[in-house]
Structure formats: C-alpha cells, structure tokens
Structure 1
Amino acid sequence: MKNIKHNIVLIAMTLFLSTFAHATFASDTENQIITAEKDTIQNTTVCYEVFGMDCPGCQSALEKQVKKIDGVADAKASFKEKQVVIELMPDAKVSDQEIEKRIKKANFTPGKKIKAVKDEK
C-alpha cells in the first residue's frame, strides 16, 4: 500500500512539473516572437562598397538611383569613402540584388555589403 501511495505521489509530481515546465517554455517562446516582431519594426541601415565614383556628381546620381527602390528611406553616397549608406523604411523588404541592380544602373560597380545595423530608435 505504501508503494502505491508513493507511486501516485511520483506520478502527480511528474505531471505537475511537466505542466509547469511547458508553461514556462511556452511563455519564453511567446516573448521571443514578440521581440522578433519589434526588431522588424526598427529601421535598418546597410552600407555597400561602390567603385567608380570620383566626384560629387557621381554621389548624387547614385543616391537618386538608390532612393527609387521601394522601401528605401534615404541614401547617402560618398565618393571619397567609396560607399553608399542606405536607410530602409520600417518593415521594408529590400534584397541585396535590388540594391546591386540600382548601383549598376547608375553606372557604378557594387562591392561587398560592409555592414547592416539595427537602429536603436
């Protein structure tokens, strides 16, 4: 009889702990989903190398071309630093290929992506 009570207590504790553990991990997963949603709302800034710019007019031409991309909030090019910094709108889905296509359309050579930064706004 003592073994039966002991087994019932063990089963009850196991069920309680498994339910508690599931509730704890489920809420953690919900927090991760909410955090991920917040990250997509923040602006993203990306920077690309660009070769072939050698004057302020080149900068301006590249900026105008990149700003035509849906989802781009702003673009700042620098012929001295050989790069373009692109600020994307919240929730924008802009591909690297689209940016490289626009750089080529402005008659410049795209280099590698230098960085992608999440703004802390």
Structure 2
Amino acid sequence: MRPQPNLSRTQQHQKKSAFCRFFSRLLEDIGSHVIRASSGSEALELLQRNDSISILITEINMPGMDGHELAERATHVRPALKILQLSGRERRQGGFPMIRKPFSQDDLVRVMQQTTGAC
C-alpha cells in the first residue's frame, strides 16, 4: 500500500508560494528590487553576502526559523537593517513593525513609508 501524500502541507506550500509571487510583484510594482529567500537561514546568508539589502520583509509564520527569530538574528548581522513583518494572525513581537494580511498595495506603501522610509 502506497502512503498518501500530505495534501494539507502541499496545499499550504502552494498557497504560500502564490502569496510570495504576488507579494514580490507588489513590491516590484512600487519600485523595489526584490531578492527572495526560501527560508530564514537562506535570508541570513543573503544578508551577509549582499550589503545592498536595506529592508527585510518576512512572514512571521514560517517552518523552521519563524519570522520573529529571523528578524532578531538579522538585526544582529546588520543592526541598521529595517524590518517589516507580515502576518494574518500572529501577534507582533520584538517591537518590529507589522502589516496584517490581507492588505492592499496602498496599505503596503503607507506602512513601508511609515516604518522603513521606503517608497
């Protein structure tokens, strides 16, 4: 008997991938250059190798290293780094700015201007 695939995990991954593509397009539409990472550890590696990254935008609810831990570790690597966290249900921690999903492009621009000075 063949094991059944874990459909909830697959659907969740597809949903997150679709959101990531959508969110990247939103950022590009407002003039941002987007560098995507598939995990918190990859994001930290990119920050260490690329001094041009000035803003880290992270989902809070991620497998492995969550967005709270990523934000903390990233600011140890790059103290001047601006952080914006995204969540639909998690609560804010560590004093980092957050935008709640769902949000519009106008909401994103407003929050980025207020919290990071970008846009």
| Structure showing greater relative contact order (alpha-carbon pairs closer than 8 Å, 6 or more residues apart) | 1
TM-score category, normalised to shorter length: under 0.3
Q: What is the TM-score with the length of structure 1 in the denominator?
A: 0.27
By percentage of residues, which structure has more helix? Answer: 1
Name whichever structure is richer in strand by fraction: 1
Higher Rg: 1
